[in-house]
Amino acid sequence: MLIVAIPVWISTLFSEPRRSKVLHPVFKLWMSIYLPLVGCPVIRKGKKYFRKGSNYIVVINHNSLADIPVSSPWIPGANKTLAKSEMAKIPIFGLVYKAGSILVNRKNENSRRESFTKMQEMLDLGLHLCLYPEGTRNKTNQPLQPFYDGAFIAAIKSQKPIIPAIIFNTKKIYPALTSKVWARPLPIHIHFLEPIETIGLSHKDIATLKDSVHQTMEKYFVDHRDKL
């Protein structure tokens, strides 16, 4: 992280979208080295769904802190994620965290409103968004928690396609409820699914779109979790 902090700091001298385009290969290289070294190589499937010249809202299931180094670096192309503002206060890590994120204080209404504006700005600049619609780590025995509306509001407002994505094995590697300081080495799989278009949808379609994406992701997770 100390080494990576140097190019990350340099990237903060640039404005968007150049900053994210500089950061993405740095994060990808970092995790391509680090994760195999700790016994958690990443296997990616579905890259073909990302069309050149298009950007997407990628919605991902969230089971563990181990999801974070997998999701954003393995999305094909520069992207921004929505992240809790309090984490940016951590020394060194906070710099890395902040550079790749749109920060939001979930307890502050103005901060939540501003985060929507920033998400739309990033989409207008051609960046992908990386969002966890469950809002927080899944600490239940269910495949997915209920989704919040935010990702689907952003998709409909921008008329950008949604790409559902499923991460497998991170709950086994580092469970959300564990108090242990170690993690279990396992391969991590991230599967990108076929894009879901939002062109022509309006605010009244948010609930239907959200339910459709949830059902698609839940079915895929259940059908594949015991095969990996």
Rounded Cα gap, residues 100 and 23, in angstroms: 7
- Look up tokens 């080494």; give the residue: 3
Token pair belonging to 127: 């960046």
* Mean pLDDT, residues 132-156: 96
Reported pTM: 0.94
CB 129 within 8 A of CB 122: yes
Q: What angle do CA 78, 126, 136 make, to 5 degrees?
A: 60
Contact 193, 216 (CB under 8 A): yes
* Cβ pair 93, 99 in contact under 8 A: no
Q: Does the pLDDT value for residue 82 go beyond 80?
A: yes
- Mean pLDDT over each residue of the chain, to the nearest integer: 94
CA dist 140 → 63, 161, 164, 171, 211 (Å): 9, 29, 20, 11, 19
pLDDT tens digits for 167-198?
Answer: 999 999 988 776 666 778 999 999 999 999 99
**So what's the pLDDT on residue 179?**
61
Task: Give the mean pLDDT of 74-94.
Answer: 92
Could you state, in order of their start, the residue ranges of all structural domains in the chain?
5-224
* Amino acid occupying residue 111: S
Least confident window among 19-33, 49-63, 67-81, 87-101 = 87-101
Q: What is the pLDDT of residue 216?
A: 98
Residue 137, classified by CB atoms within 10 Å of its CB into exposed (0-12), middle (13-18) or buried (19+), is: buried
Task: Name the CATH superfamily housing domain 5-224.
Answer: Glycerol-3-phosphate (1)-acyltransferase (3.40.1130.10)
Q: Does the pLDDT value for residue 150 go beyond 80? A: yes
Residue 155, CA distances (Å) to 1, 52, 81, 97, 101 in order: 33, 19, 14, 24, 18
User: Which has the higher per-residue pLDDT, 83 or 76?
Assistant: 76
Q: Please give the share of the chain, as a percent, with pLDDT higher than 90.
A: 82
State the Cα–Cα distance between residues 134 and 132, nearest whole angstrom.
6
- The owner of tokens 């901060």 is 111
CA angle 168, 34, 142 (to 5 degrees): 20
